[in-house]
Structure 1
Amino acid sequence: MDRKVMVVSVAVGFLGLLSAALAFAAEATRTKVSDVQTRRGGECVYPKSPALALGLISALALMMAQAIVNIVAGCICCKKHPHPSDTNWTIGLIAFIASWVSFIIAFLLLLTGAALNDQRGQERMSFRDYCYVVKPGVFSGGAVLSLASVALAIVYYVALSSKNAQSWGADQNQGGIAMGYPPQANPVFVHEDTYNRQQFP
């Protein structure tokens, strides 16, 4: 594997793990029903929670990982490939689409969970006199999908990089074969009388 591919894969993988870890931390520190206090007059008192900051940083790390892969590798839909049936190209295309789908869902889950968890101070009761809190599993789902998105992005990048390396190697081999066999001139046949005339004028 190329050194550049290794460095990019490690960096993107680290950001993906960071995003998932922060999302799981946000899930553990989110505001729960037992943390909310109710007062007379229909007011819900929410405690402070770091889930908002954790969710936003997790979404930011995921966005950075996705941006790095797509900037370095480029969009596979914008590139022309002479053999669309190639295995690496097919794997890269599937991983590219699945990575973007999982990224969008994970990003929305993380932002939604962070926004809904941003309940501070006193709020009026809503939803049939219930204090609203983030449902369990929102941040966890975002964490799992962020890992899937980053893993698929790495697969897409590695598959695309290996395809480019194979194409470059094939071009080099063809160039070496062409240089190894210099062009030969067509043979010229001379009649026997020509030599006789030169020797015996």
Structure 2
Amino acid sequence: MEGKTVLVSVLLATLAIAVVVAGFMAEATKAKRSQITVEYYGLEPIEPECHYPSSPAMGLAIAATVALVLARTIIQSTTGGCCSCCKPLHSMPKLGRVCIVISWILSSIAVVLFIAGAKLSTHNSAMVDVNGVYYCYTVKPGVFSGAGIMGLLSVLLGLVYYFLYVQAQRRAAEKSGADLELEKPPVTDVKKPPITDVKKPPVTDVKKPQAPSQNE
């Protein structure tokens, strides 16, 4: 159990770091408004098209999403599934249930932000503002970094829930073992009946009858 706990903890911590690093890197490398150009095609109607510079932001956002989903899968598989927080478990504190619920909410929001940011980073269609000017959409500041922070908190809360789950399982096993010990019938000290020294009957010296003599 200890080796498994250490392995799961290291994996989740690594994935949490990967999520937040990928989120901040995507935030730093996303396309800026000044780097996007609008080109117009055709005569009537004019069809503007946005051209974004090459950027690893989309790949980083997808990598962060994969890491977050993988962390969520590890937490589910090691704690009895997605409905484990609803199952009755001995000694499971309320803090664990709160942590897993918040973790689910944060991870869902982070995944949506990562996917939306990655999709909008390659949105080629130009839009028109109220003045009739064409412009290209850019991911708002803080979308990727915010998603990375929420993903980090989600995995950390899931790790806390995992620790509490393991401790609750251990306490439940100990209690079950104690209950089994109490249910066993008491072992009484049954004494064997004493072995009496039965004396053999005395051997009497029985004389053999004399054989008759031939003279008689």
Q: Write 1 or 2 for the structure with the bigger share of helix.
A: 1
* RMSD of Structure 2 on Structure 1 (CA): 2.4
Asked whether 1:58 is paired with 2:70, we answer no
How many residues are treated as equivalent by the alignment?
178
Q: 2:110 touches 2:147 (CA, 8 Å); kept in 1?
A: yes
Larger Rg: 2
Letter in 1 for 2:52: Y
| Rounded Cα–Cα distance in structure 2 between residues aligned with 1:61 and 1:125 | 32
The 1:24/1:176 distance shift into structure 2, 3 A limit, reads same
Change (3 A) 1:39 1:81: closer
Secondary structure in structure 1 of the residue aligned to 2:25:
helix
Q: Is 1:113 aligned to residue 117 of structure 2?
A: yes
CA drift at 1:176:
4.6
Shift of 1:170: 2.4
Return the match for 2:103 from 99, 102, 108.
99
Identity among equivalent pairs (%): 32
1:15-39 deviations in Å (ceiling 9; x for gaps):
1111111111111110111111234
Which amino acid in 1 is paired with 2:141?
A: P
2:152 to 147, 154, 174: 147
TM-score (norm 1): 0.79
Deviations for 1:152-173, whole angstroms, at most 9, x for unmatched residues?
1001111011011011122334
Contact 1:16 1:62 (8 Å CA) reproduced: yes
Are residues 13 and 127 of structure 1, via their aligned partners in 2, closer, same or farther at CA, if it must alter by over 3 Å? farther
Per the TM alignment, residue 175 of structure 1 is displaced from its structure 2 partner at its CA by 4.1
Deviation of 1:184 after TM superposition, in Å, equals: 7.3
Deviates more, 1:105-114 or 1:12-21: 12-21
Cα deviations by residue, 1:41-96 (Å, 9 ceiling, x for unpaired): 644332111111110111001000000110111232452235xxx4x431111111
Normalising by structure 2, we get a TM-score of 0.74
> 1:193 aligns to what?
none
User: Is residue 11 of structure 1 aligned with residue 11 of structure 2?
Assistant: yes
Q: Answer yes or no: is 1:172 the counterpart of 2:177.
A: yes
* Aligned residue runs from structure 1 range 131-146, under 5 A: 131-146=136-151
Larger deviation, residues 5-14 vs 164-173: 164-173
| Other-structure match for 2:204 | none
- The whole-number CA distance in structure 2 between the counterparts of 1:45 and 1:70 is 41
Q: Which amino acid aligns with 1:89?
A: P
